[in-house]
Amino acid sequence: MSGRVLYSPVELNAAFSREFKRAGWGESRTSYWVTDDYRLIRRTIPLEPEMQKQVIEAAGKRAIYSYNQTDFVKKRVAVEVQLGKYSFIAYDLFVKHLAFYVGDAIDLGIEILPMKAMQEQMSSGPGYYEGALYDIAREGRGVPAVPLILVGIEP
């Protein structure tokens, strides 16, 4: 921004990635199959991916491959560093962490977000800790249904 020095989400993400990898954390992916039948999806959720596909196809439905990826996983803890678009925070909190938890790949999800004080000094408009905390509080204590820690960072 003209006349101002701002934090770069791209550079911050690269720094987080370097340090997490140095500490032995790695990316993880969970794969699954979906279809257009709610009851069939509910039946296949606890199954292994290849069995999900077989059950869906045996029911005469189209099996669609899908997956969730998380930034860093180590010892059953997943960490998402969200310094990008604000819309991805809700996806991380209510989809990604939950998918890994339900799939028994993690026991805890951690979301790292800028505090509002830092977000105001960033070169793009990411979401921020206080807003995400409000969204979680508004949903109630049991939502999302995964143990979760929000971490706010600031200069």
Q: Can you list the residues of the chain whose pLDDT is less than 50?
A: none
Work out whether the CA dihedral 119, 120, 122, 123 comes out positive or negative.
Answer: positive
Q: Which of 127, 70, 29 is nearest to 136 (CA)?
A: 127
Question: pTM (2 decimals)?
Answer: 0.83
**Residues 115, 118: Cα–Cα separation, whole Å:** 5
Whether 125 maps to a domain, the answer reads: yes
The CA-atom distances, in angstroms, between 93 and each of 34, 60, 65, 78, 81 are 20, 33, 22, 11, 11
Residue 112 belongs to domain with CATH number: 3.40.91.20
Q: What is the pLDDT of residue 1?
A: 52
Q: What is the pLDDT of residue 111?
A: 94
Q: What is the pLDDT of residue 2?
A: 62
Whether 65 maps to a domain, the answer reads: no
Whether 14 maps to a domain, the answer reads: yes
Helices (H) and strands (E) counted in the chain, each on its own, are 7, 5
How many structural domains does the chain have?
A: 1
Q: Identify the domain containing residue 91 by its residue range.
A: 9-28+70-153
Whether 45 maps to a domain, the answer reads: no
Whether 102 maps to a domain, the answer reads: yes
